[in-house]
Amino acid sequence: MKKITTLSAYFSHSGNTQVIARQIHEKAGGDLFRIVSKDPYPAEYNAVVERARKELDRDYLPALKTTVADMDAYSRIFIGYPNWWGTVPRPVAAFLSAYDFSGKTIAPFCTHEGSGLGQSIDDIKKACPQSTILEGIAIRGGDVRNAQGPVTAWLKDIDRIMDT
């Protein structure tokens, strides 16, 4: 049996990042993993924005509800997140700090409402200095349902589509 080497891990609050994660998973294969904070975020937009800002300002790493059973089994990791305050949400920062990504290849993807990848790639590089960080892709939230073309092109560009 072939060892699975690809993990698509993502944090999604509104569902947009989950849509992109599933598109990537369909093309790249491997396992799909949802990053979930033990303390759920509120549904109301302004409350989420306020909490996210406070967490970022305090460099807070929330406890996560879920864990990857065997991170050593993966060599390619897709990391997905909404762009919050120009970077990864704190649950993603907690995920990145919870595992040793040394020697792994990380391909970031995010959803946003106009800010693109922001400084998230630099922040992932700082969190995972012994990893290879590939070019990321940013998909506007309103475009996620029709993003198969850009996602497929990105996957081809970074040579991550598995042979069918």
One-letter-per-residue 3-state SS of the chain = CCCCCEEEEECCCCCHHHHHHHHHHHHHCCEEEECCECCCCCCCHHHHHHHHHHHHHCCCCCCECCCCCCHHHCCEEEEEEECECCECCHHHHHHHHHCCCCCCEEEEEEEECCCCCCCHHHHHHHHCCCCEECCCEEEEHHHHHHCHHHHHHHHHHCCCCCCC
52: in domain = yes
- Model confidence over 37-73: pLDDT tens digits? 999 999 999 999 999 999 999 999 999 999 999 999 9
Q: What is the pLDDT of residue 163?
A: 35
- Expressed as residue numbers, the domain containing 94 is 6-157
- 163 in a structural domain: no
55 located within any domain: yes
Is 1 domain-assigned?
no
pLDDT the model gives residue 3: 55
pTM, whole model, 2 decimals? 0.92
Percent of the chain with pLDDT strictly greater than 90: 91
Please indicate, yes or no, if residue 66 is contained in any of the structural domains. Answer: yes
Summarize pLDDT for 75-128 with one digit per residue, the tens: 999 999 999 999 999 999 999 999 999 999 999 999 999 999 999 999 999 999
Q: Is residue 162 part of a domain?
A: no
Residue 16 inside a domain? The answer is yes
For residue 1, is pLDDT > 90?
A: no
- 51: domain CATH number is 3.40.50.360
pLDDT at 44: 93
Q: In this structure, is residue 86 part of a structural domain?
A: yes
User: Per residue in 141-157, pLDDT tens?
Assistant: 999 999 999 999 999 98
How many folded domains does the chain comprise?
1
